[in-house]
Amino acid sequence: MAMEKGLLWTAIGLLAAAVVWAACRYAYFYRKEHFTCPHCGHCWKPPLLRMIFSVNAVEGKILTCPCCGTKEYMEPEKDS
């Protein structure tokens, strides 16, 4: 019984750490980075839910450009 509680608290702790890490990563992105569409050159920062639910690929994400509608792999770029 005590071991099960220990495993439960460990799982809760790992989940909490993952949520905090993701929140810090997204906060960093919104302060310092953006995406640029390789098709039309439009620069933008996607909404948080789109960032969370888009497909991750290597360093970037597969996103749909809000300007031209092209679905492409895009890597984040530093804001100037």
Q: Where are the strands (E) in 1-80, listed by range?
A: 33-36, 43-44, 55-57, 60-64, 71-74, 77-78
Q: What mean pLDDT value characterizes the chain?
A: 88
Cα–Cα distances in angstroms (integers) from residue 74 to residues 20, 29, 46, 50, 80, in the given order: 25, 14, 12, 13, 17
Q: List, for residues 31-61, the tens digit of each pLDDT value.
A: 888 999 999 999 999 988 888 788 888 788 9
Beta bridge partners of 64: 71
Q: Which has more confidence, 23 or 63? A: 63
Domain ranges of the chain: 2-78
